[in-house]
Chains A and B, each alone.
Chain A
Amino acid sequence: MSNPVIKCENVFKIFGANAKKMLQDSNGNVDAQTFQNNGCIVGVNNASFEVSKGEMLVVMGLSGSGKSTLLRCISRLTDATGGKIYIEGQDLLKLNNKELIDLRRNKMGMVFQSFALLPHKTVVENIAFPLQIKGIEIEDSISKAMDMVKLVGLEGRENYFPRELSGGQQQRVGIARSLAVEPDIWFLDEPFSALDPLIRKEMQDEFLRLQDKLQKTIMFITHDFDEALKLADRIAIMKDGVIEQLDTPANIVLNPATEYVRKFTEEVPREKVLLIEDVMDKSVTKDLSDLKVSKDETIENVAEKILTQEKTVAVIDDNNKVVGSINPTKIINTVFGGRKNN
């Protein structure tokens, strides 16, 4: 945790002719409306956060909330108007063009919402493209790309053109291409938004499987709160360029920081999101029932068993050590309590 892979300090992105000057005058206190009246549009407003190695940060927000802009600042597809961005300790905004290209060729991979495949190249050529750009021999790049084709399960389709593939398959190509150079940092810009719900679920599972294997540092953009909950280590919720809350999924569901965040959490099926660990009582009472549940189970999985008990249930960790307890009423309160209609 000591050395964050991505670190943002007061990042601003403001579109408009004299954005830079206005930002300086505002002393870091940006009011979107004032800026808009002066012909500037605020994309990202004072974003500060860190992403550590192997962590997946999901940025959630509705369209126009600035989440894609934030990602583009960090990948420097667009230059941030103000603030500092560090990638593995390097000041991103100070890199010259050559260093930036070097960084992208070796450290970064990105997946796009509309897949952004090169229409004139086949599946395997698309995947080999970043390798060839790096200057790797055609033969080596193709054989490496074939490994990637296997990784995303597209064997037998390596000579297809993007137009001959379904959306899900195209995005698999996009994913394979972004992974071809074995980057440490993986950016995904709404990768599954353009897909059908069933395919989306399949791809999310696939994605989790991949991440389990690869352990990349990830920034994942989505407008789907359920997707964010399912994938994230931590979630940043954005509105009008401002990060409203940045926390673990459980904390966001249990303690929404603002009214805006609360609206998202209201409809969330908590039993599916929260783990026993999130709601358990850390103190261990003496009068426990015989049932023991693991702290890593979701409420959904063990609720039935717990609710049949009359006494408080012990919670154990992987080593069978009792780390806490949970009372059946707590389960009922968590799942059904605190909702609008009650």
Chain B
Amino acid sequence: MEILKKYPKTFQWLFLLIIFFALCFAIEVPETYKFIRGQAEFVKDPNQSFYVFLGKEVRYYPFDVFWRLPPLLGWLPIWINDSLFFLMNEWLPMEFWNETTQSYKTRPLVLQITREVTSIMTFLIELIRDILLGGLKTIVAFTSWDFVGSNSWAKMPGLPWTIVAAGAAILAYKLSGKGLALFAGLVMVYISVFGQWKPSMQTLSFILVAAPLSFVFGLGLGIAAFKNKRVEKALYPVLLVMQTMPQYAVLVPALVLFGVGDHAAVIITMIVAVPPMILLTLIGLRAVPPEVIEAGRMSGCNNWQLMFKVLIPTARRDILIGVNQVIMVCFSMAVISAFIGAKGLGFNLLLALNQLNIGLALEAGLCISLIAILLDKMSLAWANKQVDYFGNLTFFERNKNAYYFSIAVAIGVVLAYLGSFYFEEGYNYLFEVPHNKGISTADFWNKGVDWIFDTFFVYIKAFNTWLIVEVLQPMRALYLRMPAVATIVLVVGAGYLIGGIRSALVVCGLTLFIALSPWWDRALVTTYMATFGVIVSCIIGFTVGTLCFQNKHSANFMLGVCDIFQTFPSFVYLIPVMMLFGITDTSVLIAVIVYATIPATRYTIEGLRSVPIALHDAATMSGVNKFQRLTKIEFPLAFPHMMLGLNQTIVFALFMVIIGAFIGTEDLGQYILKALSDKNGAGIGLTLGICVAFIGLIFDNLIRTWVEKRKHHLGIT
């Protein structure tokens, strides 16, 4: 009894676990139960039961309710689908003026709106594309195809790659200095020489539209939420779900609304990139000290000046993290949106991965990553730029960058012109190095991969088999063996013990949604993969972080590495693992582990750093050795922050697990991928996405609640 009073929490947890295991053992696996592979539940089968709700028939294999809950929400995807179609094709038809046919036409409102948005996006993308690569679509937009047909000069010539490269370097020089200029120049030259110019510029044009738009919308909505509590309350749940929603899942509904192509990709990218921007804007604005706001007011700022000259610049740090996130998401989406027909590097990357041409995929992936890093650094430099008021510059000095650029343009044009004589036959390499006609190292990489594969095949294979047979399969079987009721009891119980009744209810709602959807088994597989990834990532990240923390330089170095890795689009991680492990769960899991280790490491270092120096000194004066200081002082205090890292790790892991469907997994991601090519896929994709988001949110809720309590307990805010 004494012990029970001393450690009440421990016993509560023990009690919960006992109930959980008791339920697991008490509820037998039904004989008819088997994991459904493929999409067997859509095949009509006399063993299936069905019910009709809202006029929709839902078919499913019935089990004991304790084992698996019936899919009472099975109608939801179909209903979402029908609603979308209704909105698009039937709701609120209105008269719209049609420019080409010079007549009024009746169209549903939503369809008209989406078409208008589509045409604006397409125009913007084409404009940048025409400037960078040449073309006539912009001119056509202002005139007509006939005009272009009869006037052969009406075509934008496109910039030679030399000019773009010089322009990028000059811009980088203006923003930051020689270092960045050199980097920008090298990136551009690399892209060109390796024959990735056209797809790279296509990707760039997509990003130059998507990123600024996402930034503006995110900032605007963030400001609105900051100014108005009601807007914030309305946005908050959406933001939460979007944070953990896999990017794949958004593709499908957008496909229905906006069709296939670059414009749809831009819109989807905005949907994914805007929420973190809103969140970080809000966080940043909230953190502005009240005295700074008062100082602004006393300087006589009106509301507009206060927002744009005081609040936003002061909140710059968080807003910049938001910009960084936007750019990250944009590049990540640049690849993923290739599924819905976006052109560019992403498309090449997917194609190469599909053909298992690792070398080509590597080159495309490297290009994306390089452009991503470049844009990230440039946006950062732009925000940190300082004006010199005392330089007393001459006219030439003030405008020297413009001069340099005009010189570069002149030289570029001359070079391209000379090139047209020099490379009379074949391609004018001084104008544009055509796709796949540059230097390619693909063969080298492919041979390297082959060599590694041939040489280490035995070991890799042995490791692979061991991991799958000894670790992954049993773990998966264990997860699937859990009766639904036992899982729910465990999760809700954990919610109650951590956050009380409120947390328990939230978690219960989220879990029930998944349990009542038709995809409980798949969700379990997703969870198992994510759990495995998270556990390994945390062990690695925690160890690496702690080791690096011991030395200031290594810690900074590690944070830098994390920064760079984070800039890589998530898809790029799949390339090296496919090189080594082929198309197996191991590949996916290793990609998951690599990707999810980033936040684990980062938060470990940051958490340890946040321990106040005074405590450090106090501990040292108490005579602790290094190890004692780590275990008695630093870990306990850094633990809440490290748990937030765990939270991020879970989100990252879930993302990668879902993307892993591309390699071939049997989880929710597989269905999302399938929904892409299904004409009724919108509802399914969205519901699946929400399921994944909810898995993330369950952990998110539990961890955050715990962290808040713990921080309160420790007195850190």
Q: Which of A104, A113, A114, A118 contacts B298 (CB 8 A)?
A: A104
User: CB within 8 Å of B: which of A98-151?
Assistant: 101-102, 104-106, 108-110, 112-122, 124-125, 129-130, 133-134, 138-139, 142
- Contact yes or no, B297 A116, CB < 8 A: no
Quick one: given A112-B291, A114-B291, A120-B314, are A129 and B299 in contact (CB under 8 Å)? yes
Q: Please, how many angstroms separate the alpha-carbon atoms of A26 and B48 in the complex?
A: 74
Closest to B303 in A: A97
In the assembled complex, A217 has its CB within 8 A of some CB on chain B? no
Quick one: given A119-B314, A120-B314, are A77 and B386 in contact (CB under 8 Å)? no
- Contact yes or no, B299 A104, CB < 8 A: yes
Set of chain A residues within 8 Å of B305, measured between Cβ atoms: 133
Q: Which of A112, A120, A142, A159 contacts B316 (CB 8 A)?
A: A120
Quick one: given A77-B297, A116-B294, are A159 and B313 in contact (CB under 8 Å)? no
User: CB within 8 Å of A: which of B265-307?
Assistant: 289, 291-292, 294-295, 297-302, 305
Q: Which of B289, B295, B313 contacts A120 (CB 8 A)?
A: B313
Set of chain B residues within 8 Å of A104, measured between Cβ atoms: 297-300
Q: Please, how many angstroms separate the alpha-carbon atoms of A177 and B298 in the complex?
A: 11
- Contact yes or no, A133 B300, CB < 8 A: yes
- Contact yes or no, B309 A133, CB < 8 A: yes
Set of chain B residues within 8 Å of A169, measured between Cβ atoms: none
User: CB within 8 Å of B: which of A69-115?
Assistant: 72, 75, 77, 97, 101-102, 104-106, 108-110, 112-115
- Contact yes or no, A134 B300, CB < 8 A: yes
Set of chain B residues within 8 Å of A174, measured between Cβ atoms: 295
Q: Which of B300, B302, B386, B389 contacts A130 (CB 8 A)?
A: B300
Q: Quick one: which of B291, B302, B314, B389 has the most chain A CB within 10 A?
A: B389
The minimal Cβ–Cβ distance linking B395 to chain A, given in whole angstroms, is: 15
The minimal Cβ–Cβ distance linking A23 to chain B, given in whole angstroms, is: 24
Quick one: given A118-B313, A120-B313, A124-B389, are A101 and B294 in contact (CB under 8 Å)? no
Closest to A142 in B: B389
The minimal Cβ–Cβ distance linking A185 to chain B, given in whole angstroms, is: 11
In the assembled complex, B444 has its CB within 8 A of some CB on chain A? no
- Contact yes or no, A109 B298, CB < 8 A: yes
The minimal Cβ–Cβ distance linking B308 to chain A, given in whole angstroms, is: 11
User: CB within 8 Å of A: which of B238-264?
Assistant: none
- Contact yes or no, B314 A118, CB < 8 A: yes
In the assembled complex, B390 has its CB within 8 A of some CB on chain A? yes
In the assembled complex, B580 has its CB within 8 A of some CB on chain A? no
Q: Please, how many angstroms separate the alpha-carbon atoms of A102 and B298 in the complex?
A: 10
Closest to B317 in A: A119
Q: Which of A110, A118, A139 contacts B292 (CB 8 A)?
A: A118
Set of chain B residues within 8 Å of A159, measured between Cβ atoms: 390
Quick one: given A118-B310, A118-B314, A159-B390, are A105 and B291 in contact (CB under 8 Å)? no
Set of chain A residues within 8 Å of B310, measured between Cβ atoms: 118
- Contact yes or no, B386 A177, CB < 8 A: no
Q: Quick one: which of A119, A120, A159, A177 has the most chain B CB within 10 A?
A: A120
What are the nearest 5 A-B pairs in CB distance? Answer: A105-B300, A130-B299, A116-B295, A116-B291, A110-B298
Q: Could you list some 28 contacts between A and B, CB below 8 A?
A: A77-B298, A97-B302, A101-B300, A104-B297, A104-B298, A105-B300, A106-B300, A110-B295, A112-B294, A112-B295, A115-B291, A116-B291, A118-B295, A118-B313, A119-B313, A120-B313, A120-B314, A120-B316, A121-B313, A129-B299, A129-B309, A130-B299, A133-B301, A133-B309, A138-B389, A174-B295, A178-B298, A181-B300
Given contacts A113-B291, A133-B305, A174-B295, 12 further A-B contacts (CB under 8 A): A101-B300, A102-B300, A112-B291, A112-B295, A117-B292, A117-B295, A118-B310, A120-B314, A125-B387, A130-B300, A133-B300, A133-B301
